[in-house]
Amino acid sequence: MSMPAGWYDDGSGRQRWWDGGRWTDDFAPALGAVGEPSGSLSLSKGQGAPVLGFVGLGLAVLGTVLACIPAVFGIGVVVLVAAFVVSFIGLFRKGAAKWPSIVGMILSVVGGVVGAVVVVVPLLASVQGPAVPPTDVPTSASPEEPSESPSAGTSEGRPSPEEIAEGFKALAQAEGLTT
pLDDT tens digit sequence for 65-75: 999 998 999 99
Q: What is the number of alpha carbons within 13 Å of residue 103 lying toward its C-beta?
A: 13
State pLDDT tens for residues 38-51.
Answer: 444 444 444 567 89
Distance CA 102, CA 86 (A): 11
Q: How many domains does the chain have?
A: 2
Among 39-48, 88-97, 121-130, 140-149, whose mean pLDDT is lowest?
A: 39-48
Classify residue 142: in a domain, yes or no: no
Distance CA 119, CA 127 (A): 13
CA dihedral 71, 75, 79, 84 (to 10 degrees): 90
Do 97 and 59 share a domain, yes or no?
A: yes
pLDDT for 79: 95
Is residue 84 located within the same domain as residue 56?
yes
In a domain, 88, yes or no: yes
Same structural domain, 27 and 89: no
Same-domain check for residues 80 and 18 = no
Predicted confidence at residue 41, as pLDDT, reads 43
Q: Which tens digits make up the pLDDT trace of 1-20?
A: 578 888 888 777 788 888 88
Nearest to 46 by CA among 115, 105, 94, 109: 94
Are 53 and 7 found together in one domain?
no
**pLDDT for the residue 46:** 45
State which residues form the domain around 13: 1-33
Look at residues 68, 87, 121 and tell me which one is the last residue of a structural domain: 121
Percentage of the chain modeled with pLDDT above 90: 32
Residue type at position 133: P
Q: Note whether 54 and 100 are same-domain residues.
A: yes
Same domain? 62 vs 29? no
Residue 142 pLDDT: 56
